[in-house]
Structures are given as C-alpha cells and as structure tokens.
Amino acid sequence: MDSRTGFGGAEERAMRRALELAATPGVPLGPNPRVGCVLLDADGRTVAEGHHRGAGTPHAEADALARAGGAARGSTAVVTLEPCNHTGRTGPCAQALLEAGVRRVVFAQADPNPVAAGGAATLSAAGVEVVGGLLADEARAVNRVWSFAVEHGRPFVTWKFATTLDGRSAAADGTSRWVSSRAARLDTHRLRALCDTMLVGSNTVAVDDPLLTVRDAEDRPLPHQPLRAVMGLRDLDPGRRVFDDSAETVHLRTRDPRAALAELFARDRQHVFLEGGPTLAAAFWRAGLVDEVVAYVAPFLLGAGRSAVADLGIATIADAFRPRVVDVTVLADDPEANVRFTLAPHDRTTQGED
C-alpha cells in the first residue's frame, strides 16, 4: 500500500484493467456510463471481472459479483465509477456490494449524477473501507461525453464540416459532392457511430435529402443507428430519405439551439453530431453551444461558393474565434490528402488574447 496515495499496486493494475473493461467495444451507446469492475482477494489476485453492457443490463459491480459468487466476500472491488446509490432498471450497486460482503471499495471517478451519487457514503456508513480518485482522469476520459452531459444538463455537441482550402463547403452552383475525400467520409461514419444523435437543419433535408445513417466501408448500415434529428419550423416532404425506416427520426420544431438540445436531453441523448449547413452551424457557435469541432480540409480551391459557416458577428480580427487545436491528422491512404483538424473551442472571454 502506498502511504501517499492510499492505493496498492495491485489496485492500480486492477483499475487499469477495469478501464479496459469499461471501454469494451460493441456496448450500445445510451444514457448510462461505461463502467468496469475488478474484484481482488486479500492477496491482490483477481477474483472476477465485470462491465456494464448498456441500459437495462446489470451494472459492472453486479456483473462481477455474479461471476464471483461466494468468493466476493472479503474482497476489494475496484470500480471505474463510484457505485450507484439508487434504484433504476437495476438495484443500487452500493447495496449489492454490502450484501456480497465486500471489504474495501476503490473507485476512480466520483459519480456526477445527483440521482445516482452517494454510494461511497452509504458504503462507508456501513463500515466498508472506501477510497476514491484512483486514475480518475483516465476514467473521466472513458465517459467524457456522459460526464459533460450530466454536469451541464445538455448533450455534448460535435460540429463536423468539410471544406476546401479557401473555406468553401459548396461551389457557386451549389454542388458539394464531393468536397471531402472517400477516406474523410469513412472517417466521418466512424465518428457518427460514437454519437447518439445526428442533427441537421430543415433546409439541409429539403435541399440535400441526406440519409443520415451510419454505414461501414461497404456502405452497409450498422446495427445501431443514432437518432436523426431535424431542426426547424418549416414543414418537410415526408418522402425525404431522413424519414425512412433506416433509423428513428424526430423533427424539432424550433430555431433555438438551446431549446433543441433541451428536447434531445429530455430524450436521454448525450452526444449530438452537428452536420447541418452554415446557418445552423453559426447559430450553435454564436450561442456558445459547440463543444468540439472536426473539420476535414480538402486540398483544392473554389474561389467562390457557399462558406462552411455563416456570419458569426465578427467585425474585426481581434474578435476572431480561436479554437484550440487538439489534433491534426493527414488521413492515411488518401490520394487527395484530406487533413482532419480536431479543435476545442476556447471560452469566449479568452478570444483575441495572445
């Protein structure tokens, strides 16, 4: 046991394994966080492992306890998120750990959800040794979007767009296929699959007739599709492809980005992939509701045509928005050498500062 941290080496190794379990591929996106759990015996050996597999399935702790059976008594539960303290579709994990006779609980991230929080206090009050904060940053990274949505009361918004070197998303005649390369389009589908909502404006549906589904490299739809959300007041032709049976679709009858996000959050949506046109993008940006930018830049020039984003109300260079560059990637196996920029918007008060 490290006296400085309160954690043992076996516990840190178990937590890293629990983080791997939490990030198990194939778990459907949903309102619940991704959680992993490892049970250790008194000698630091693994007794059982478990992870959450989506809404309505056993939580990670319950999964591990079921696999351990009676061997869970006297064990240490290493969990990536503070054990929950409420009854939802499943019972409270804190109570399950108590009933199993777990001696010690080590968790990474404190639960930011006020409905579920309090498990650590319940366990401590019952005499279980509880220590939190082990690899907390790594655990938060696994549930980056979920944590943001719970703390802010709205979905995390990723704005994606494709542009030419001179900032055009379409030519002067309105043609836009294809500004991005095939490699960029495949990468976009990869990112779409990480979100639970695709959002466009009603004008995009009327003019471009997008399908807004997630597809693989052979253009086959994936088994789990995000919600397709269309934002705007205008009535739309029900024959548009976005209204087919490929995925669920909702029409958000508003032009207010905050109202749209509030309605999506009420539907348990946590990650919006914003792929609308320049007007919708500008509305979200000016409202301060863009949390991540993914821009694909193609190496050619148009000189005229539609801009990637509409007026942002900026009159002078000193007021320019200056997002922080998180990543720059030249897409592999791309003969057109599209470049993907991932950016994080700064707080508005920092704009223009050197």
Question: Going from the N-terminus, what domains does the chain have, and what CATH number goes with each?
Answer: 9-149 (3.40.140.10), 154-350 (3.40.430.10)
Helix (H) or strand (E) holding 254: none
Contact 175, 164 (CB under 8 A): no
CA distance 295 to 128: 49
CA distance 117 to 181: 45
Pick from 14-18, 103-107, 169-173, 318-322: least confident: 169-173
Q: What residues contact residue 345 under an 8 Å CB cut-off, 6+ apart? A: 285, 288, 290, 291, 292, 293, 321, 323, 324
Q: Where are the beta strands (DSSP E) in the chain?
A: 36-40, 46-51, 76-81, 104-109, 129-132, 156-164, 168-170, 197-201, 227-231, 249-252, 271-274, 292-298, 306-307, 324-330, 339-344
Q: What's the sign of the alpha-carbon dihedral 161, 167, 173, 177?
A: negative
Average pLDDT of the chain is: 91
Contact 307, 169 (CB under 8 A): yes
Please state, for a pLDDT cut of 70, what percent of the chain lies above it: 95
CB neighbourhood size of 30 (10 A)? 18
Q: Between β-strands 197-201 and 227-231, what pairing exists: parallel, antiparallel or unpaired?
A: parallel
**Residue 2: per-residue pLDDT:** 54
CA distance 333 to 338: 10
Residue type, 305: G
- pTM of the predicted protein model: 0.89
Which residues are catalytic, by number?
61
Mind listing the pLDDT tens digit for each residue in 114-162? 888 899 999 999 999 999 999 999 999 999 999 999 999 999 999 999 9
CB neighbourhood size of 217 (10 A)? 9
What value, to the nearest 5°, has the Cα angle with vertex 130 and ends 125 and 136?
135
